Amino acid sequence: MKKVIDKFDFKGKIKSVKENKTGLINSTFIVSTCSFKYVLQKINTSIFKKPISLMENIELTADFLKVLGQASLELVKSNDGDSFIEYNSGYWRAFKYIDSTTYFKADSIFIVSESAKCLGNFHLHLNQFPIEKLNISIPNFHNTSVILNDFKVRLEVADNSVLTRCDAEIDYILSKEDDCKIIQNLISQNKIPLRVCHNDPKISNFLFDNENNAICLIDLDTVMPGTVLFDIADAIRTSCVSESEEESDLNKVFFKFDYFEEFIKSYLNKNGDNLNKYELQNIVKSIEIIFLEQGIRFLSDYLSFNKYYEVTYPEQNLVRAKNQLHLARQIELNVLSLENILLKYIR
């Protein structure tokens, strides 16, 4: 670790290095010097297979936001002036630490509104960014059909010991094949445009100040061309719910309509004018699809004995999958009411 730290241009003598275990994928450390704090991360290259492309995307978009006066992550350069270092075939990068709070679920409607405004601002400003400069750092990241096909492949080879524990979930997923194609088809037909997206704006990827005003989005690893629908849906997936994706007691897990309304109102107020009619028409469907997609991803990982997502107990990905599919069903049953709420805010 010392060898890695020495390669970055950190100001001051190092006082402490503490691991932060909140992300599900990269390894994160907080490095404190006598006068500053930094976030040091080792990129998980079994998941992010193109770390250099990914770092180019982060650097380009974070710098662009900064020029526009928007808060964003600030990379700390290496002593050689690079945005990352390679050490023992691992890739490391560092950011200036931002004094802030994060949430695993929204504790109040104010937090929902703040995260929606923050995402709206992110899309609004990056809409001016020349999208062709971005790399596709993870191909098919939100291609729900491809995710479903991968799931089917896992089903073929999965062990009976795990398969028998999720019969109902497997049947539900397989019955949703057509839904998995909807957004991808609209993209192929050029009805839904590719825009600069975060692709992982779950509530824990927003920083808040001590008055709960949103500061900015973090975890820019997945920033690349995508549809804003999945960004809006993923933020709603994690902020407009009674409990986080980790909750195993499904009696406690429900979609919060009042939070949804607040999210839509705040987001559309910032960026509604930039969305086309197909985007507006598919917001509710994309929420159902993102719950389904996340459920499929968690269940795939459960069937493969937890190789992708970090777990602290063996059934954790099954718990997460059940939680997300339960919410997908709730959206499915309430599409009309949700569409009616949405209509109130479409100008």
- Tell me if 245 contacts Mg ion by CB under 5 A: no
Rounded Cα distance between 127 and 231, Å, is: 14
Do 123 and 274 contact (CB within 8 A), yes or no?
yes
Per-residue tokens: 33 = 């010097």
Question: Site for ligand GN1 (CB under 6 A): which residue of 59, 114, 169, 200?
Answer: 200
Least Å from the CB of residue 294 to ligand GN1:
6
Nearer to Mg ion, 219 or 261 (CB): 219
Decide: is 219 part of the binding site for ligand GN1 (CB under 6 A): yes
Structure tokens at 225: 């061309």
Measured distance CA(2)–CA(14) in Å, rounded: 10
| Nearer CB in complex with Mg ion: 24/146 | 24
Buried b (16+ CB within 10 A) or exposed e, 54-66: bbbbbbbbbebbe
Question: Which residue is nearest to Mg ion, using beta carbons?
Answer: 219
By beta-carbon distance, which residue lies closest to ligand GN1?
Answer: 24
Binding status of residue 193 toward ligand GN1 by CB under 6 A:
no
- Helices first, then strands: H and E counts in the chain: 13, 10
219 binds Mg ion (CB under 5 A): yes
Whole-number Å distance between alpha carbons of 316 and 173: 19
CB 166 within 8 A of CB 173: no
Structure tokens at 109: 């409607």
Based on CB atoms, which residue is closest to Mg ion, 114 or 200? 200
Instruction: Give residue 190's region: left, alpha or beta (phi > 0; psi -120 to 50).
Output: left
| Shortest separation between residue 136's beta carbon and ligand GN1, angstroms | 14
List the one residue from 57, 227, 294, 317 that touches ligand GN1 (CB under 6 A): 294
Binders in 222-241 for ligand GN1, by CB under 6 A: 222
The residue (of 46 and 189) whose beta carbon lies closer to ligand GN1 is 46
136 binds ligand GN1 (CB under 6 A): no
Q: Residue 150 interacts with ligand GN1 (CB under 6 A)?
A: no
Phi/psi of residue 247, nearest 5 degrees: -75, 130
Which residues of this chain interact with Mg ion, rule CB under 5 A? 200, 219
Which residues of this chain interact with ligand GN1, rule CB under 6 A? 23-25, 47, 200, 202, 205, 219, 221-222, 245, 294
